[in-house]
């Protein structure tokens, strides 16, 4: 537990180490203030560190973020308090006392070089591998098992091959039946919880059966302002289902996503691998006809 008391000496507390918090800290530090930057995560960077590009300029997120992270790390006027949370604030303007809880990291941050050896030698992980829980017997149709085994055998290695394997099963079956995931876990020796985490993280994977044709309507900002909601409504009406559902004849699944990277063609939809841009609700009906049996 750290207790920080500041008299009116010009110290500033910035809460949140995202790009906004970092820029505020740098501006204040440059102006001569001592800055305490508090971040609840293990590292500064925030959500932007997880992005590839930023809307609407399509700038590289890391190119914007990395220089600020480095500057914050080096600035003598900035004290970073990561993995920390504010417990209480007392006092009045000019003289606040802030109580901050710093969480245990279980590694010596001054010695850590990020080599990853501690992960390899982690006792908790090793115990899990030494005594894996009993796996229930997998019951799968022979035909499906042959297909799944063929896909698994295309990829060497362990969890690094998981995403391509799941993509392979999805393109073969259109979804990820439970027993196929268990088969992947068994053959590749990957914990099933890890597989489920990946399978539920990506929109491209589904744990529910999906239709033969997957209609994806982009509801990103550019498409939204150009009428994507009306297109989505049109599909819902024509198909008699709601977004996220599949028609009873298993022909169509309707999904909505955020920006598929073709904003210049907005509003955009995809049907399987086909892309349709600058679409009107009336044209949406015609597109549907093309894919009906
Ligand atoms: S908002 Fe970018 S493609 Fe729709």
**132 Cα–ligand 1 center, Å:** 44
Question: For position 269, which CATH number holds?
Answer: 3.40.30.10
Same domain, 7 and 61: yes
Closest ligand 1 atom to residue 221 Cα is: 1
260 lines ligand 1 (CB under 6 A): yes
Low-confidence stretches of the chain (pLDDT beneath 50): 1-2, 5-7
Last residue of a domain, one of 178, 201, 224: 201
Residue 135 falls within a domain, yes or no?
Answer: no
262 lines ligand 1 (CB under 6 A): yes
Last residue of a domain, one of 70, 102, 134: 102
Same domain, 53 and 33: yes
* SS3 assignment, position 59: strand
What pTM, to 2 d.p., does this model score?
Answer: 0.50
**279 Cα–ligand 1 center, Å:** 12
259 lines ligand 1 (CB under 6 A): yes
Residue 112 falls within a domain, yes or no?
Answer: no
* SS3 assignment, position 274: strand
**270 Cα–ligand 1 center, Å:** 11
Question: For position 75, which CATH number holds?
Answer: 3.50.50.60
CA 75-79-81 angle, 5° bins: 135
Tally the residues of the chain.
293
Closest ligand 1 atom to residue 218 Cα is: 4
Same domain, 224 and 170: no
Closest ligand 1 atom to residue 224 Cα is: 1
Which pLDDT belongs to residue 93?
A: 83
Residue 126 falls within a domain, yes or no?
Answer: no
Within 8 A by CB and 6+ apart from 215, the residues are: 235, 252, 253, 254, 255, 269, 270, 271, 288
Tokens at 101, concatenated: 């809880």
Which pLDDT belongs to residue 69?
A: 92
**264 Cα–ligand 1 center, Å:** 8
Same domain, 256 and 192: no
223 lines ligand 1 (CB under 6 A): yes
**5 Cα–ligand 1 center, Å:** 49
Q: Rounded distance, CA 207 to CA 73, Å?
A: 42
Residue 229 falls within a domain, yes or no?
Answer: yes
Residue 30 falls within a domain, yes or no?
Answer: yes
**214 Cα–ligand 1 center, Å:** 17
257 lines ligand 1 (CB under 6 A): no
Within 8 A by CB and 6+ apart from 260, the residues are: 216, 218, 220, 268, 270, 275
Residue 130 falls within a domain, yes or no?
Answer: no
Residue 264 falls within a domain, yes or no?
Answer: yes
222 lines ligand 1 (CB under 6 A): yes
254 lines ligand 1 (CB under 6 A): no
Q: Rounded distance, CA 41 to CA 15, Å?
A: 11
218 lines ligand 1 (CB under 6 A): yes
Among 223, 269, 275, residue to substitute to test ligand 1 (most atoms within 8 Å of Cβ):
223
Same domain, 252 and 162: no
Residue 221 falls within a domain, yes or no?
Answer: yes
Domain carrying residue 168:
142-201
Same domain, 224 and 251: yes
- C-alpha dihedral sign at 7, 9, 11, 12: positive
**161 Cα–ligand 1 center, Å:** 30
Same domain, 181 and 220: no
Count of domains forming the chain? 3
């Amino acid at each position: 537990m750290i207790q920080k008391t500041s008299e009116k000496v010009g110290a500033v507390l910035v809460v949140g180490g995202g790009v906004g918090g970092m820029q505020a800290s740098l501006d204040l530090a440059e102006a001569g203030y001592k800055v305490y930057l508090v971040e609840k995560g293990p590292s500064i960077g925030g959500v932007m560190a997880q992005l590839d590009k930023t809307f609407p300029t399509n700038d590289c997120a890391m190119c914007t973020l990395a220089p600020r992270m480095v500057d914050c790390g080096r600035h003598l006027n900035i004290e970073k308090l990561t993995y920390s949370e504010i417990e209480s604030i007392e006092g009045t303007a000019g003289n606040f006392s802030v109580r901050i809880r710093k969480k245990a990291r279980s590694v010596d941050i001054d010695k850590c070089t990020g080599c990853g050896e501690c992960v390899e030698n982690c006792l908790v992980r090793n115990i899990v591998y030494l005594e894996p829980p009993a796996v229930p017997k997998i019951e799968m149709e022979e035909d499906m098992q042959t297909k799944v085994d063929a896909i698994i055998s295309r990829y060497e290695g362990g969890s690094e091959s998981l995403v391509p394997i799941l993509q392979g099963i999805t393109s073969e079956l259109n979804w990820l039946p439970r027993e196929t995931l268990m088969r992947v876990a068994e053959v590749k020796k990957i914990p099933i919880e890890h597989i489920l985490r990946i399978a539920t993280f990506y929109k491209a994977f589904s744990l529910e059966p999906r239709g033969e044709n997957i209609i994806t309507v982009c509801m990103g900002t550019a498409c939204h302002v150009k009428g994507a909601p009306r297109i989505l409504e049109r599909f819902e009406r024509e198909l008699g289902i709601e977004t996220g559902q599949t028609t009873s004849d298993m022909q169509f699944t309707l999904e909505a996503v955020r920006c598929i990277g073709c904003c210049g063609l907005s509003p955009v939809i995809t049907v399987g691998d086909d892309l349709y841009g600058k679409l009107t609700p009336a044209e949406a009906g015609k597109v549907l006809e093309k894919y009906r049996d």
